[in-house]
Amino acid sequence: MPQLNPNPWFSIMLLTWFTFSLLIQPKLLSFTLTNNPANKITTTKPTPWTWPWT
C-alpha cells in the first residue's frame, strides 16, 4: 500500500500542522460573532395579550 511508505511522513506531519495552525485557525478567528455566548433564558414566560380588533 503506498500510504505505508514512511518517506514523506515527517514532511506531511509538518505540513499538516502548519496548515492547521497557521492557515485555518487565523482565518477562523476573523469569523466574529455579534452576541456573547449565553444559555437560553427559560425563566420568563411570554405574557399573553389580546389583539385590539377595534
Partner 1 sequence: MNLSFFDQFSSPCLLGIPLILPSLLLPALLLPSPGNRWINNRLSTIQLWFTHLITKQLMTPLNKAGHKWALLLTSLILMLLSINLLGLLPYTFTPTTQLSMNMALALPLWLATLLTGLRNQPSASLGHLLPEGTPTPLIPALIMIETTSLLIRPLALGVRLTANLTAGHLLIQLISTA
C-beta of 50: minimal distance to partner 1 in Å? Answer: 36
The CA-CA-CA angle for residues 21, 24, 30, to 5°, reads 115
**Rounded distance between C-alpha atoms, residue 26 and residue 23, angstroms:** 6
C-beta of 15: minimal distance to partner 1 in Å? Answer: 6
Q: Which is nearer to partner 1, 11 or 44 (CB)?
A: 11
Which of positions 9-38 make contact with partner 1 (CB under 8 A)? 9, 11-13, 15-17, 19-20, 23-34, 37
**Rounded distance between C-alpha atoms, residue 30 and residue 15, angstroms:** 22
